[in-house]
Amino acid sequence: MSVAGLKKQFHKASQLLSEKISGAEGTKLDEDFMEMERKIDITNKSVFELLTKTTEYLQPNPASRAKLGMLNTMSKIRGQVKTTGYPQTEGLLGDCMLRYGRELGEDSTFGGALLDVGEALKQMGDVKDSLDINVKQNFIDPLQTLQDKDLKEIGHHLKKLEGRRLDFDYKKKRQGKIPDDEIKQAVEKFEESKELAERSMFNFLENDVEQVSQLAALIEAALEYHRQSSDILEELSGKLQSRINTASSKPKKEFKPKSIISSLETINSNQHNGVSYTSSLKSTALSACSLPMSSYAVIDYLMPTEKCIMM
């Protein structure tokens, strides 16, 4: 930095210190300018929070978000184009139901229903993936560009304006000790920066309909997601009702108890004929051990951020 540059930095720091400690008043800008600056500041904060909260809305599980971010970063480092998708809770619950539905089999009323619901939830997971992509492209990315480009540029103009305002106030208070040419130059630069900052804020605020369009895109994406989900659930509801009606109309089977002795005779006969046998009690016990995992899948679906607390 040149000597003149260092000198100017000293002037700014000295004026700022004087205002902070001594309560000296700097040059006040007009009310219209101050109001625009206030709106820009609020817009900046809102965009920052909207980006964070929208991501949390789409991907509520912080642990999954962190893992996904790490995996996608590693993919970029390795030069892999394909990125890993967020594990949707609908898909996870659907996988759980499909697994146990297949184990029970179609001949089981409950097993068939699990398969129906599992398939529907997998479809809803795919619809949620589409929502993620749609919102990212039409809402998150434009807001990110707004933050990184337009708002950043306005912030740069305001920062430069504040620096030139401090330089001008420092020299103005020392009028007579500082050459008039320097004070005149400070005024001109101050005016130039004010005009640039004012114009950039004015243009941004006059075109804020663009942000309304982005909000409309977010709501349209959410509406489409709920519309498709509603269609899937309506169809599923019909299937389940049909299964209930079919099961209700079936003649009830009569329970016929089997004695332990006859069961053992059947086992021995099967073993002599080379047929392997697995205890139904053992199978039931294993299934019972697996049931809590399906409960966790439901909890994960309903409260994706609370599972770790409940466990």
Q: How many structural domains is the chain composed of?
A: 1
Which of 122-136, 152-166, 266-280 shows the lowest per-residue confidence on average (mean pLDDT)?
266-280
pLDDT at residue 100 in the model: 97
Residue 126 has pLDDT above 70, yes or no: yes
- 260 pLDDT band, cuts 50/70/90, is confident
User: In sequence order, what DSSP letters do the residues of 197-221 get, joined into one string?
Assistant: HHHHHHHHHHTTHHHHHHHHHHHHH
Model pLDDT, residue 267: 66
The answer to whether residue 127 is domain-embedded is yes
Q: How far apart are the C-alpha atoms of 135 and 237, rounded to whole Å?
A: 28
**The pLDDT of residue 257 is above 60:** yes
Q: Is residue 128 part of a domain?
A: yes
Query: pLDDT (tens digit, 9 = 90+) per residue, 147-167?
Result: 999 999 999 999 999 999 998
Instruction: Give CA–CA dist 6/9, Å, rounded.
Output: 5
CB neighbours of residue 42 within 10 Å: 10
Condensed to tens digits (0 to 9), the pLDDT of residues 99-123 reads 999 999 989 999 999 999 999 999 9
20, 174 contact by CB (below 8 A): no
**Per-residue confidence (pLDDT) for residue 87, from 0 to 100:** 86
Mean pLDDT, residues 71-78 taken together: 64
Whole-number Å distance between alpha carbons of 81 and 102: 35
- When comparing pLDDT for 58 and 232, which is higher? 232
Domain membership of residue 171 (yes or no) is yes
Average pLDDT value for the chain: 83
Instruction: Quote the pLDDT of residue 167.
Output: 87
pTM above 0.85? no
User: Does pLDDT of 310 surpass 60?
Assistant: no
The sign one gets for the Cα dihedral 274, 275, 280, 286 is positive
Examine residue 38 and state whether it is found in any structural domain, yes or no. Answer: no
Give pLDDT, residue 289. Answer: 40
Better pLDDT: 163 or 11: 163
| Structural domain for 180, as ranges | 49-246+289-310
10 Å CB burial of residue 295 (0-12, 13-18, 19+) is exposed
Per-residue pLDDT, 7: 63
Q: Note the pLDDT of residue 6.
A: 65
Residue range 267-283: average pLDDT?
Answer: 55
- Name which of 2-6, 34-38, 40-44, 248-252 the model is least confident about: 2-6
Tokens of 12: 């700014």
Note the pLDDT tens digit of each residue in 286-296.
Answer: 444 454 555 66
| CATH number, position 208 | 1.20.1270.60
Q: What is the pLDDT of residue 291?
A: 47
So what's the pLDDT on residue 23? 66
What does the pLDDT read at residue 104? 96
pLDDT for the residue numbered 117 = 98
> Is position 198 within any domain?
yes
pLDDT score of 78 more than 60 = yes
